[in-house]
Amino acid sequence: MKKITLILITLITVACTDPKDKYTALECVDPGLVPYMLVMDKDSKTFETYIIKNPGDGPIKAEGPADIVVSGTYIEEGDHHYLYTWDLETFEKNKDIYDIYDDSTVEFFSIMEEPLPLPQFKIDRRDLSGSVKDVSLDPFGFDSPWVNVSDEECRIIDVPKDYLASKKDKDVNLF
C-alpha cells in the first residue's frame, strides 16, 4: 500500500509541474542598446540571452526572440550571486564581432600560446546589479577585478511564451 501511495504522489507531482518553474527570466535594458532577455534553466544550470525582435516604445513589448547572443552555464556563487560563464561556441562566434578583450590581452595570450579565457559575468540576486570580470588586469584571472555594470537595469519577469514554445516543440525554431 505504501508503494502505491508513493507512486501516486510522484505522478501527481510530475503532472502538476509547470514548465515555467524550470526557468527564470530576466528582462534587461542597457541605455543606448537593444533590450535583451536572460533565461536560466534551473535543471541544467545553463543560460541563454537573446535580443527581442521588436522592443517597442516605453516598457518592453517583446515579440519573441530574434537571435541567441550569449549562452553558457551558471552556478550559484555565495549567498547572493549567479556566476555566468560563456560557452566556447558563443565565445568563438562573438570574439571577432565584439571587442571582448583589448589588444594587449589578446597579444598576451597569443605569446603565451594559451587560449583566451571564456568571459564571465555576475548578477546579484538581491538587487539584480551586474558585474563583469576584467581579465585585462590579470590575464590568468586569479585576481581579476569585477567591474560593475551600473547603467544596466534588469527585472525578473515571467518566462516569455515564445521562449517556452521553442523549448517545448523542437519543430518551432524561433531563433
17-74 pLDDT, tens digit per residue, is: 455 579 999 988 877 777 788 999 999 999 999 887 655 554 555 455 566 688 999 9
Tell me how far apart the alpha carbons of residues 38 and 144 are, in angstroms, rounded to a whole number. 24
- Within a domain: 36: yes
Domain count, the chain: 1
pLDDT at residue 84 greater than cutoff 70:
yes
- Within a domain: 109: yes
> Can you tell me the mean pLDDT for 135-149?
72
105-122 pLDDT, tens digit per residue, is: 888 888 989 888 889 999
- Within a domain: 152: yes
- Within a domain: 8: no
- Within a domain: 10: no
pLDDT for residue 170: 55
Distances (CA, A) of 58 to 2, 29, 128: 56, 11, 21
- Within a domain: 175: no
pLDDT for residue 40: 95
> Can you tell me the mean pLDDT for 75-99?
87
CA-closest candidate to residue 119, choices 97, 143, 136: 136
- Within a domain: 25: yes
Q: What is the CATH number of the domain that holds 52?
A: 2.40.128
- Within a domain: 94: yes
What are 36's strand-pairing partners? Answer: 28, 51
Is residue 147 a contact partner of residue 131, using CB atoms and an 8 Å limit?
yes
Which pLDDT band, with edges at 50, 70 and 90, does 2 fall under?
very low
The domain of 106 spans 21-168
pTM over 0.75: no
